[in-house]
Chains A and B, each alone.
Chain A
Amino acid sequence: MKYEAVIGLEIHSELKTKTKIFCGCATTFGAEQNTHVCPVCLGLPGVLPVINKRVVEFAIRAGLALNCTINKFSKFDRKNYYYPDLPKNFQTSQYDLPIAEKGYVDIDVDGQKKRIRITRIHMEEDAGKLVHSGNTIKDSATSNVDYNRTGVPLIEIVSEPDMATPQEARVYMEKVKSILEYIDVSNCRMEEGNLRADLNVSLRPVGTTALGTKAEMKNINSFKAVEDALAYEIQRQQEVLEDGGHLVQETRTWDPDKGITLSMRTKEAAHDYRYMPEPDLVPIVTTDEEIAAYRKALPELPDARRQRLETEDGLSSYDAGIITGSRELAEYFDAAIVDGADAKLTANWMMGDLAKNLNAEGKTIQDSPVDAKRLGQMIMLISKGTISSKIAKKVFVEMWTSPDAPEKIVKDKGLVQITDTKAIEGIVDAVIAANPKPVADYKGGNTKAIGALVGQVMKQSKGKANPGVVNQLLKAKLDT
């Protein structure tokens, strides 16, 4: 029997507010343990939470950017469970009236478009961090708890089970990350846990519609792990089914070092969160006017920006997709072409020499030693014919370690392209005289032989001769 995978994601994203969701404690990452805590986030008796206005604004912005309907009446609920990273013994979350629902994201996998539906987006508080005394939670006699992260605001974005491959899941998560970056509601630093996903996956025979028994893998915090964990789990479930076994619904952990998933089942009874309305927080009411104002204030989103780069700047769909895939790249591109640099050439340089150099030094585009303005200036020098593309590579290397403008580097290093016909003519004559064989070949009808002569002239001019002029001169002299 052939099986197909059914995948749904719950993406948790920490919002970039200064303070926690229900109290004034700072959210800064990396502080000393238990220094960003207060009676509210520690769940001490008698305290009253008050929601941070920015959290609601960010959640609504995310809802609109992900094509959701905003619920004009939204409320909080308590999700009850016992776990020591949760000092109150319940998580303040949203159950039946989340801030946003029924949205979608369009993804593009190998040129195929697919719409992934979003079930809901709700606001909730993050939990604390556990440090186990042993290697794993199970072999630790005690654990230590740091509550700094407790109460950091989260939005949880729940998708429909609309993905069929690990690659689709990865592309979907990349797209969500990119949208959250564009609307500036999360830092999305995955290594700091700003963005992490719970993966739900089950198999069913191809051609059937009923959902199979699913496994859930929690807190996956890299794109590679999303793809690897799903690929492993699909394979594992397929083997169980093919051997005639049956699957149990369970939570499994992904071990990235061993590349396997492991069952986390315990003697604990099945989940029963006993959701109840949160009596300490009043509902959130949002008017149509407010929603319209939030919508109007949204920046240009990745899909629209990609479209613009294709139609207005003439980039290929592939190039436009890569450049708009991250807000930083897209902004670099816009800043590079703003003074008139050729768009296609700029895209080529960004994805060529710039990307190569950044990768080699493990730098991001924000830390690029060559800023957008100077790259744009250099590209304009190429278009004007001041330097050739070949010389530009030298200028680029110079710019990488020098703060100088490209014009200054070209002048200081004597890299200006020679377009003066007289200066080039002398070299052309010398090359024709010194290379009788290609000259004879060319005259004998092998027009390609001119390439060798152009190469010689370029070499003798140290790359500074304008190749167009060289070609013209050679042809003029040889054809007569």
Chain B
Amino acid sequence: MVMDGESMKVTKKDVEDVAVLSRLAIPEEEKEQYTEQLNAFLEYVDNLSAVPTDDIKPTAHVLQLSNVFREDVVKPSLGRELALSNAPLKEDGYFKVPKILED
């Protein structure tokens, strides 16, 4: 990202990097468009910078709740047939996945 005065600017390279991390194939001709759109979003959100937040703790959660716990008691699991029923590929009771690492 490029710092432009007070706000950050998203570059085409940022869009490409985020696309890789998100496993998205973005056609070359659309990259400019996404770069512009992302910058527009950030500019809009940037309005929040005008609000003074020096004395405010970062929000960890939007709900004012804490300590929601569960007792350590075993509950029945799904059963293998059901667990695997939506798997696109399976083998011997395992989920089967394509090649993980490229050479």
> What residues of chain A have their CB less than 8 Å away from a CB belonging to chain B?
17-19, 23-26, 32-39, 42, 50-54, 56, 73, 75, 80, 82-84, 97, 130-131, 137-138, 140-147, 266-267, 269, 272, 274, 277, 279, 281-285
Contacts and interface: CB of A to CB of B under 8 A. Distances in A.
Contact of B99 (A140, A272, A282): A140
B68 A50 contact: yes
A349 to B, nearest CB: 40
Contacts of B62: 279
Given A18-B72, A19-B73, A137-B100, 9 more contacts: A18-B73, A37-B80, A38-B83, A75-B61, A144-B95, A267-B102, A279-B61, A282-B63, A282-B66
A54 B69 CA distance: 9
The number of chain B residues touching the other chain, given as a range, is: 35 or more
B60 A52 contact: no
Given A18-B73, A32-B80, A52-B70, A145 B61 contact: no
Contact of B75 (A25, A84, A131): A25
Given A131-B94, A138-B101, A145-B95, A56 B69 contact: yes
B75 A83 contact: no
Contact of B92 (A130, A144, A266): A144
B38 interface: no
Main secondary structure of the interface of B (DSSP, over half): loop
Interface stretch (B4-12, B17-25, B28-36, B41-49): B17-25
A18 B72 CA distance: 6
Nearest to A89: B23
Nearest to B95: A145
14 contacts: A17-B72, A19-B73, A34-B83, A36-B77, A37-B80, A52-B70, A53-B72, A84-B100, A142-B97, A143-B100, A147-B95, A266-B101, A272-B17, A282-B65
A50 B75 CA distance: 13
B86 to A, nearest CB: 8
Contacts of B94: 33-34, 131, 144-146
Contacts of A266: 101-102
B27 interface: no
A269 B61 contact: no
Interface string B47-88: 000000000000011110111111111111111100110000
Which of the listed residues B17, B68, B92 has the most CB atoms from chain A within 10 Å of its own CB?
A: B68
B102 A130 contact: no
Given A17-B72, A56-B69, A272-B21, A73 B79 contact: no
A24 B95 contact: no
Given A32-B93, A285-B66, A38 B74 contact: no
> Closest 5 interchain pairs by CB?
A24-B75, A144-B94, A53-B69, A54-B72, A50-B70
B75 to A, nearest CB: 3
B64 to A, nearest CB: 9
Contacts of A283: 60-61, 66
Contacts of B74: 18-19, 24-26
Contacts of B101: 137-138, 266
B75 A23 contact: yes
B35 to A, nearest CB: 18
A146 B80 CA distance: 10
Contacts of B68: 50-51, 281-282
Contacts of A75: 60-61
Contacts of B17: 269, 272
A185 to B, nearest CB: 12
